[in-house]
Structure 1
Amino acid sequence: MILFRTEAAVERTLELIADWPIAFPVLYEPDIRSAKLARFPYRVEYVVASNVVVVAHAKPQPRYCRRVP
Structure 2
Amino acid sequence: MPLRDINDLEKLKKINAALVSRVERSMDQQGNAFSLFQTTISLENRVRTRTEELHSTLRRLEQSNIDLSAA
Give the alignment's TM-score, normalised by structure 2: 0.29
| Structure with greater contact order relative to length (CA < 8 Å, sep ≥ 6) | 1
Structure with a larger share of its residues in strand: 1
TM, length-normalised to structure 1: 0.30
